[in-house]
Each structure stands twice: as structure tokens, then as C-alpha cells.
Structure 1
């Protein structure tokens, strides 16, 4: 039977949403529902959160032709892909052995998404994931986009850049973003990947090493904030939908409950601050190119 861990329960209590959280628990399963198998088989990408060999959390994406994700059994997901060279999780996901991963299958064109968490094992040129948690998510704050593949495989790859803080161009990319993905893990190391969206500017750059974003009304499960309460490590993926570049950040995050601070941000129920500790920018990381967004009607205005 699905249960919440202590961090999730503590955040639910502090937010005063225990009843709603208890209702939302019905969306947590330990197997992929039959209807979701077709959904997964139609996707050209999936987001993955995991730790690198040094223990840092990162978020990345795997891509392939539709059909590269398969569900041979209700508790197994096969992904026929690995991260590209230079990706911060290329070493972890490409290695032998077991790795705890959080995954998010997301279809921007229909605003559908599904979380799949478990243990990944290298299988040929891809991964086999033994699932222990499957969660259907609501479509709020997802921008609609359609994709196509870059002709000729896209531009010639450029050098991967690394750093400990965001440079000026990277700060601007974060400020323009309407979507990012976040990887967290429980105190026991069970990984999770989730989505955050809003109108451009919803992520604030307070300094080259500090970001802040609003936590909007959701399903009250607090899977991400519950993990952060027990384990502040986190990884962000900010995709460039137009060029296929990926901006990966790793660091720590905390929830801000200060009422005066929250009141300054429209729509915010809480705030999250992320301290950047490592940056990896991978040009041409994805062969997918996406259309201009149609913003979610749920997105609060940005000051």
C-alpha cells in the first residue's frame, strides 16, 4: 500500500493540506497502468534524476524515436537510450550496477505527464528500470509545445562548459525559462524527478549562485518539498527548447515559509531557494526541437 515518508507528511501538515494529500495518495501505484503503456511508447523523451559518482544530484533527459520507451511488464520500464557524452549523468547511467532513478515522462503537446521511480540497470545501449513507484500527475503549469527532429541531426556539437556559478548568458537563460525539471531524493536516496512551470520570469536569479521560484498550488503530495526537508540535495535541468542545449545545475534547495516574502510573489504558496554548486552546459544535447509555447492558463502573472 502506498504511503508518504516523514518529510512529505511534515510538509503536508505545515501547509495544512493533510486531507487533500490523503486523497491524492490514490494516484500513487507500484505498477504502470495498461493505459499508460501506450502513452510511454509514444514519447520521444523522458527526464531522469539521479546521483553522479560523487553523490551530486542532477536531472537530464533521454531521447529516442517513439517506441524507445517500452513496458515489458507492469513493473519494468525499458529505455533504449543513454545520455550523450558530456552529460553529468553519462557516467552513472552508463555504468554497470544498480542506480536509484526518478523519471518523468512528459508530453507537452497534451500536457500529460507521469512519474516513474525505481532502480535502473544498464541493459545493452539503454536502461532497464525496476519500478517501485508510478505517479500520475496533474497538467497544471505545463506549456503546450509540439516537437520535430533537427534536420541532419542538428548543428555540430560544441564543447561542454562547466563551472560553479552561472555566467551572464546562463542567468539570462534561466530568466527566460518557462519550464525546468528538478531531481530530488529521500533521506534513503530514493530519487524523484518533477516539473516546474510558469510564465517567463517565474524563476528569479538572486545572484550567480542563488535562484528562487514560487511553489504554486498543486496536488498537496509535496513529493519534492518532502524530499528537500530531509535531504536538501537537488539537480535542475533547464532545456533550451529551440536549440536542444541543456543547462544542468546541481546544488541544494530549501523551502521558504516566510509569509511576507511569499506575499511579494503572485500565486506563490511557498518559495524555494536553490544554491548552485555545479554547472554543466551541454550544447546540442537533444535532437528534438520544439515549437513556441502556448502558456498554461493556470500560470500566475509574474511581477
Structure 2
């Protein structure tokens, strides 16, 4: 059944694409029960206390062309605050160099990931922007839920400059991957992905999520296509469910030592039965991403991160890399 032809289950937080993938592994009934319990329309107290201690957050946004973008934005801890359970206040100036900023206007749907690398804690949230000022906005919470710590490498952070000061270097935009971009991706152990779906009721739902593995877990093919293994997780299928319903996606790769961001927007396809799945240790399925626009922003992130001793996620170490596959 086409995911877009299936109606949302009444009362379930999952949309048709998520349900389709849950059904493909025989878990739809169980995930319906879990979803009704853990996906909330507000921030619980634990998460209201979590966001203000973060020095950065990951955002997913959609521009006027319908392209998805993922980005990281930073601020001194306290730049995120929850005045009540239904709002997250975000203090951030506009940044025209960030392609995701074009999708952060009043009334836009947005996805957020609060993630603390040195503790491996994270919270997923999506909602709607209410912007009355250029130095920030509020997000009205639509969905909020915790995520497990799997595949997160532990890193400690420090600020390299005033977090609201712009990068001193200009952004570079292209239609494909140059050698530097290919090298960044081939050595990455972490990236973030934004995706979205327009729900049956007409509301847009944006998601942004973390992906981690050993360096080399993202393969860059000669034509610029990225092939990415999907490892065992919580079976929510937020990202891949969105991609089943809508192929548009945005990826961001971070150089944790320099603060460079490599942002890509393009189209993705989920592969449930490709022969390569069996060759990649830990992969349960694959997805492929073809970039249409690439933005390299040197030193865009004012943070620098140091890999902790013994910082590897045990789950990441249990997976493979493409050269071995």
C-alpha cells in the first residue's frame, strides 16, 4: 500500500509512512500502544530542565521551495528556555548564511533535537514557530519525546568565539560534492538529518534526528549519492517514515574540530531489501540520498568539540563500515 493512501490511525501519533515501516517488521500494533504513551504534546519537567543547559541544538526546517535543511545553532546555555510545558523559547539572531533560516519564519513548522553529546542525552520535538522578534522565536510544542543514547559519540565542548558572532568566512554553495565535501562525509561518525511530511489534516510535521556509527558508515558513490545503513533503534521510524511519504531531506555534517558545517538538501529513498544490507554489519535496511544543493559554511558553529577518552558508543562499535562490507 502506498503510504500516502493510508489514513492515520485515530489517536495514534504515527503517520502513514511510519506505520508502513512499523508494519514491515510486524511491530505496528505494539508501536501504536507505545506511541500513545510516550509521544506527548508538551514538555515534561525533565525536558524543561534539560534544554536550558544546552550550548547548541539541531533544527530541521523547510524553505519556500519545499527543500528540507538541517542545521546546528549555538548559544550560551540558557539560550533555550521553557516558560511553560507547551512552549520552548529560542533566543537566536537571524542568520542569512544558513539555508535553514529561510524556513524559520512565523507560522513555519520546525523540528528540533536537543542533544548533549557528553552525556548522550537527547530529546526530540516538533512544533510551530511563533516569531515576534528577530532575536529569537517561540516554538509551540506539537510532539515531544525522549530518545535512547545509542550511536552517540561522547564529546566535550568549548566556545571558540561569542556564540552570536557570525563566522568570519563566507559560505560556498554548489550543486554537488567537491573533494573536500566527500572527505568530510567519508570520515564522519555523526550527522543529522531533517525530513518532513504534510499530515492528513494539512499540518506540516518536521523532524530532525541524529545518526551515528563508525567513521566510514556513510558511503559516497562516484555520482555523489550517499548510501547510509539504518541500524536497530526505537522502531518509531520518524525519519524513514517521513522519507517513505516524502523523499525530500536535508543533511548536515559537522567538523567538530573546526566548527565547519556541510549542509545538503536533496532526495532520499528507503531500501528494505537491497542485497548490500546483509554485507554491512548491524544494518537492518539502507537509504540513499542524492544531494541537489550543497552549502559549505566554514566555522559556522562557534563551538569546538574534543572526543572523550573511551567516547565511542558501544552500539557504534558493534556496527561496520563500507570498506569492510
Q: TM-score, normalised by structure 2?
A: 0.88
Instruction: Indicate the SS of the match to 1:207.
Output: coil
2:116 to 107, 123, 127: 107
Moved more, 256-265 or 56-65: 256-265
**Equivalent position of 1:267 in the other structure:** 282
Which residue is equivalent to 2:208?
193
Point out where structure 2 has 5 or more consecutive residues left out of the alignment: 1-10
Residue in 2 that maps onto 1:301:
320
The 2-side partners of 1:9 and 1:155 are apart by: 41
1:225 matched to 2:240? The reply is yes
Report what 1:292 is aligned to: 307
Q: Does 1:120 find its partner at 2:129?
A: yes
1:187-244 deviation per Cα after TM superposition (whole angstroms, max 9, x unaligned): 3331111110001000000135200110000011111111111101000011111111
Q: Secondary structure at the match of 2:137?
A: strand
Please name the residue that 2:140 is paired with.
130
Q: In 2, are the aligned partners of 1:209 and 1:277 still within 8 Å (CA)?
A: no
Structural RMSD (CA): 1.8
1:52 aligns with 2:63: yes
Q: Contact 1:12–1:18 (CA<8 Å) still a contact in 2?
A: yes
The aligned residue for residue 11 of structure 1 is: 21
Instruction: Report how many residues are paired.
Output: 301
CA drift of 1:155 comes to 10
**CA shift at 1:23, angstroms?**
5.0
CA contact (8 A) 1:228 1:254 kept: yes
Say which SS state the counterpart of residue 211 (structure 2) adopts.
strand
TM-superposed CA distance for 1:38, in Å, is: 1.3
TM-score by length of 1: 0.94
Q: Distance in 2 between matches of 1:290 and 1:84?
A: 22
2: CA distance, partners of 1:258 / 1:238: 27
Quote how far apart the aligned CAs of 1:22 are.
Answer: 3.4
Q: CA deviation at 1:152?
A: 7.0
Contact 1:2 1:28 in 2 (8 A): no
What SS does the corresponding residue of 2:127 show, helix, strand or coil? strand
Aligned counterparts of 1:152 and 1:120: Cα–Cα separation in 2: 25
With over 3 angstroms needed to count, the CA separation of the structure-2 counterparts of 1:159 and 1:151, relative to structure 1, is closer
Deviates more, 1:200-209 or 1:152-161: 152-161
Counterparts of 1:156-167 in structure 2 under 5 Å? 157-167=168-178
Displacement after TM superposition at 1:13 (Å)? 0.8
Q: Distance in 2 between matches of 1:161 and 1:276?
A: 15
Verify the 8 A CA contact 1:79 1:126 in the aligned structure 2.
yes
The answer on whether the counterparts of 1:21 and 1:219 sit within 8 Å (CA) in structure 2 is no
Give 1:24 shift: 3.8
State the 1:151 CA deviation.
Answer: 5.2
Question: Structure 2: how far apart are the matches of 1:138 and 1:23?
Answer: 18
**Cα distance in 2, alignment partners of residues 152 and 135 from structure 1:** 31
1:29-83 CA-to-partner distances (Å, cap 9, x unmatched) read: 1110011111111001111101112221100122100011000110100110145
Query: Residue 130 of structure 1: CA displacement?
Result: 0.6
> Offset of 1:145 from its aligned partner?
0.5
Residue 91 of structure 1: how far off its partner (Å):
2.9
1:213 is aligned to 228
Q: Which runs of 4+ in 1 moved over 4 A?
A: 151-156
Maintained 8 Å contact 1:58/1:236: yes
